Structure 1
Amino acid sequence: MTSSIDSLDTPVAVVDVSRMQRNIQRMQNQANRQGVRLRPHVKTTKCEQVVAAQVKAGAQGITVSTLKEAQAFFAQGITDILYAVAMAPTKLNQALALRRAGCSLTIVTDSVAGARAITDFCRTHGERFEVFIEIDSDHHRSGVRSDDPVLIEIARILHEGGAVLKGVMTHAGESYKLNTLEALQEIAEIERSECGMAAEAIRSAGLPCQEVSVGSTPTALSAVHLDGVTELRAGVYVFFDLVMHNVGVCQLDELALSVLTTVIGHQPEKGWIITDSGWMAMSRDRGTQSQQCDFGYGLVCDTEGKLIDGLQLRSANQEHGVASFEEGQQVEIEQQFPIGTRLRILPNHACATGAQYQAYEALDENGEISLWPRLNGW
């Protein structure tokens, strides 16, 4: 444990623990109100301490984006794990090892070829993988449509081929492009209804479909009701970020992740404050660029986390960040932000920024710092 934020080398990822805890409880409260399980997506943080806080608040099981995450969190005692990426046949041996070790791992497919690869593997190895079929509820990325006949074909292959057809799942990623409560409520209802219709189509074909799993942070927080849904999945809510702020599901003072940086130079004639937080520290993600407010590479705060009006990290090279004020603001940057000044940058995308680091510096309400390691790689 380090005494204070002032003693940290920069750049470094800082987690405001109090904000994080409030964010965790907010999502858990929503799941409780809706009468569904919360299965948080841990790809945002990949951190044992964060996941432990989510489980303590009431989460039931976790969602992962890599089998390495599944292995790590299973080793830490979490057994109920959904690997929410379409299963590549070459990874079935990894999944088998987890199940044979006692992990209740659920896998995902969205194709006939994927279903056949899973069932062929099941027969060869005497295993009954539990499988979700991914549903395309909003034409965002992957999945099968609820009214596509191939849905029933996939379901039948899984059920009759030796796997356990556990249910259907979806992710309304298009919600990230919205910014009003009405639009978010509408897409949350589309997500719920499309996944529910897929489940009903499977059941009407005489096949089992026990679970209906939905979720993204915007839809999870905006859903009016979740009738027919059994579990809710969301990830970035634990930290939030500037993209989520633009979407409209959080305030700036709810963002729990920032990058602590140091002023290393100036270009006074250009109004530039040079920092050691380049894109290697912030990530290349410019997710707010296509939204109504472009925040560059991040908004700048003081070391207490208070926003500095008009100051953004507007550009970045690999190890250099360039912060400047809005046009028209007259600031003596060398006097107000001398070399050595510490600042904190709120990121566009918490998942991408977190991925730049091996650990978080967890800042508690007393100002004390603890090191929280995170998992990287595949």
Structure 2
Amino acid sequence: MMNLAELTTPYLLLEPEKMRANIDRLQAHMDTLGVPLRPHVKTAKSIDVVRRLFPAQGTGPITVSTLKEADYFAEHGFTDITYAVGISPDKLPRVARLHRGGVCLRVLLDSVAQAEAVVAFAKRDHVSIPALIEIDCDGERAGLREGDAKIVEIARILQENKQFSGILMHAGGSYHCPDKAAKEAAAEHERATAVKVSEALRDAGLPCETVSVGSTPTAHFAKDLTGITEVRAGVYVFQDLVMAGLHVCQLDDIAISVVATVIGHRPDKGWIMTDAGWMALSRDRGTANQEVDQGYGVVCAMDGTPYPDLIVSSTSQEHGVVELRKGSKSKLPQLEVGTKVRILPNHACATASQFDGYVVPDQNELVFWPRVNGW
């Protein structure tokens, strides 16, 4: 049992009703388009959150960004996992251990060297490790571009040992698409690129069972997913200021916030000081290039209502400087020392990673949902 007034700040507050609404919204959209979700659990990293992504206590499929996540969720019964970060050979023994434990863990690669390393290890260790080829659809991350002859070459290397599972891509460019038409176009470009690559592989006589796409913006704004076998998204579960700035969600949809305490004032500068610095909020400045720069976070009252134009403008390790955004005609609120505030995060994944878990109101009680960090 916990009492909000007795908790030491900063801590991470999760509103389960908002989370539930976010989950249901994207799931309904995927149901309409007829494509299954493979949620990316790198945002939540908590079994208490991820259980709520699946009906009837289902166990996947899921996407992870670290092998520690894979170990953690495997321990909780998840056996269908995609590790969506390019594989390095030194991690293959950990991958093999998961396979021997009954987990189908797909790895990701985009080079001949990686494919040869995976095949050689699998033969030597007498284990089958399915692999996906990463495709770059918009120049934002790793992967091979459509039409690159290496795609077929890598697929053949893998298929000779029956380890080729398909292709995967992430439309990172959608994070630069604030208007609806641009997000819809990014989603269609992602889909069309994936379909072209999968068709080219099949034309070369290679099976392409998995055609995986995904980002939170394109998942929400896709209008057609013909030819796609699964969609991955992660931050949609909590949402954040970057997604609000892209008009994927509203401020009121953001399900997590950092609770901080006012610890001082600088009247000469128009500052309010809090105990939530970058160690609590993260260094992420994802809204800096958006239409509205939210600094290091939007400051709200404890009921979740944002103070007009009040943001965390700068941080040091354990200090947050709160002030009115430049040009604001609002009045700085009178927040006395000891006052609690809530700060909405720029990037939910980065902010959540600063904490060991979530403080969650559950009916008339407060509960703690732990999360796993590290690699």
Q: TM-score, normalised by structure 1?
A: 0.96
Q: Is the 8 A contact 2:136 2:144 kept in 1?
A: yes
Partner of 1:345: 343
CA-CA distance at 1:150 after TM superposition: 0.7
Q: For 1:320-331, what aligned pairs fall within 5 Å after superposition?
A: 320-326=319-325, 327=327, 329=329, 331=331
- Aligned AA (1:84): A
Counterparts in 2 of 1:233-252, with a 5 A limit? 233-252=232-251
User: 1:27 corresponds to which residue?
Assistant: 26
Tell me how far apart the structure 2 counterparts of residues 38 and 212 of structure 1 sit (CA, whole Å). Answer: 12
* CA drift at 1:331: 3.7
Q: List per-residue Cα deviations over 1:110-152 (Å, max 9, x = no partner).
A: 1111111111111111222111111111111111112111110
The letter for the 1-side match of 2:144 is V
Tell me the secondary structure at the aligned position of residue 287 of structure 1. Answer: coil
Whether the 8 Å CA contact 2:59–2:78 is kept in 1: the answer is no
CA offsets per residue over residues 24-69 of structure 1, 9 Å max, x none? 1111111111111111000011111010001238784100001110
Indicate if the aligned counterparts of 1:301 and 1:307 stay in contact, CA closer than 8 A: yes
The answer on 1:174 being equivalent to 2:173 is: yes
Asked if the contact 1:297–1:312 (Cα under 8 Å) also holds between the matched residues in 2, the reply is: yes
Partner letter of residue 365 of structure 2? E
CA distance in 1, matches of 2:208, 2:66: 25
Q: Contact 2:61 / 2:78 at 8 angstroms: preserved in 1?
A: yes
Cross-structure match for 1:100: 100
Greater mean alpha carbon deviation, residues 97-106 or residues 323-332: 323-332
Structure 1 unaligned regions, length at least 5: none
1:71-100 Cα shifts (integer Å, max 9, x gaps): 000000111110011111110100000000
Q: Is the 8 A contact 2:264 2:274 kept in 1?
A: yes
Structure 2: unaligned runs, 5 residues or longer: none
Match of 2:132 in 1: 132
Residue 355 (structure 2) pairs with residue 357 (structure 1):
yes
1:372 corresponds, among 349, 369, 375, to 369
Q: Within 5 Å, which residues of 2 pair with 1:29-68?
A: 29-56=28-55, 60-68=60-68
Contact 1:38–1:60 (CA under 8 A) maintained in structure 2: no
User: Which residue identity does 2:283 align to in structure 1?
Assistant: R
Are the aligned partners of 1:122 and 1:163 in contact in 2 as well (CA < 8 Å)? Answer: no
What is the distance in 2 between the residues matched to 1:205 and 1:60?
A: 31
8 A contact 1:118–1:163 mirrored in 2: no
User: Are the aligned partners of 1:110 and 1:143 in contact in 2 as well (CA < 8 Å)?
Assistant: yes
SS of 2:249 mapped into structure 1: coil
Q: Percent identity?
A: 49
Structure 1 stretch 236-245 or stretch 320-329: which is displaced more?
320-329
Q: Which string of whole-angstrom CA distances, capped at 9 and with x for unpartnered residues, describes residues 269-312 of structure 1?
A: 22111000111110000111111110001001000111111111
What is the number of equivalent residue pairs in this alignment?
373
For 2:287, what is the secondary structure of its paired residue? helix
- In 2, Cα distance between equivalents of 1:332 and 1:235: 35
> TM-score, normalised on structure 2?
0.97
SS in 2 for 1:21: helix
One-letter amino acid of the structure 1 residue matched with residue 141 of structure 2: R
1:123 equivalent to 2:120? Answer no
* Residues 98/7 of structure 1: CA separation in 2 closer, same or farther (3 Å cut): same
Cα distance in 1 between the residues matched to 2:332 and 2:192: 55
- Conserved 8 A contact 2:60-2:81: no
| Amino acid across the alignment from 1:341 | T
- Write the letter of the residue equivalent to 2:106: T
Q: Shift of the alpha carbon at 1:313?
A: 0.8
Q: What is the CA RMSD across the aligned residues, in angstroms? A: 1.4
